[in-house]
Amino acid sequence: MFQKEMNSYIKYLFPVLIGMSLLFSFQNCGQVSLSENPSKPVVATGIKGNFCVSKTAGSKYVKTKLYFLNLTAKPMEHRLVPDTDVDGLEDSLETGASALFSSTNRRSSGILDSICYRRGVGSNCAPSAGSCDPTKKFFYGGISECDLAAFTGNGGPKGLNIDGSTKMDFVPDLLEVLRGTSVSSEDADISSDRDVLTNEQEIILGTDPNDEFSYDPPLANRALIDLTKDAVPNSVCNGQDSYSFYVNQFPTIPLEPYSDSDGMAHGRDENIGLIILVSRNSVTSNVEYYSYLFRVFHNSGGYEIVAAPEDFVLEGSY
């Protein structure tokens, strides 16, 4: 990742491949990349806002990571394919007479379909009744306590810290589930597909950590976000630093409409974007996770989305 000062703000751009090496600095992640259909990139503009590094008064928190993803699109090689129900499975695996799951029901057996699929147990992998609370959900309903419990395969959390992220590698659980890595092991710094990127780098980049051919999507088809550290922190931040952001481009894809009670419902061609901020206390090393969810339509423009610090939800801290 290269960091370049431009006037009064810092613009973060990654990844850039030099030969076979790739430089990343996860302490200053401000721009994330997603791949779109190379023949028709779509740029969503007018998405901007302001966030607090933390809303907790006291010793300073520092921004350590910023994730920026399209939840309704799954990366495959150099393109995005629909994941209409935001369950981590591309729609092509959930259609047809032989499909075990449905693109119109993200929890066909009570937990996210991608968890059952990756465990290879069909539709019978939900935790036993009473072992978890299916109504306890995080990231706008994107993931539940029972989804996380199912990773153990025996109906219980088994020591997992069930909130914004487990205590394993601090990658947000929802992103690990949707991108096919594990919430119950420290796999952020390994490369599941044995390419030049670690699993966490691929999640941040917007590529597929289980596909060795997806690691270098075209620059023109990546999601780009600029960050500016505010000279005077926002007054709602309890003395913590604040940042302003502007989305330069956000690739979108055509989608069928989807309806559920989870918070992942969307209209036809309505894409769901998610920004997740990870902050760490400089004194206590406590970690906080904040998230902001927004929706944009494929092939539309001229609108404006403005996020205030109050719109960023604290998902978990420890």
Each residue of 289-305: pLDDT tens digit? 999 999 999 887 656 88
Residue 290 CB contacts under 8 Å (≥ 6 apart), including other chains:
51, 52, 276, 277, 279, 312, 313, 314, 315
Residue 207: give the domain boundaries: 2-317
pTM passes above 0.85: no
239: left (phi over 0), alpha (psi -120 to 50) or beta: left
The pLDDT tens digits for 106-131 are 988 778 888 888 776 655 666 666 67
Tell me the backbone φ, ψ of residue 283, rounded to 5 degrees: -105, -50
- Report the percentage of the chain scoring pLDDT > 70: 63
Q: How confident is the model at residue 61 (pLDDT cuts 50, 70, 90)?
A: very high
d(CA 49, CA 118): 37
Total domains in the chain come to 1
Tell me the backbone φ, ψ of residue 63, rounded to 5 degrees: -70, 125
Alpha helices in 26-165 (DSSP H): 113-119, 145-149
Mean pLDDT value of segment 30-46: 42
Tell me the backbone φ, ψ of residue 221, rounded to 5 degrees: -115, 25
- Report the percentage of the chain scoring pLDDT > 90: 29
Maximum average pLDDT range among 34-38, 147-151, 152-156, 168-172: 147-151
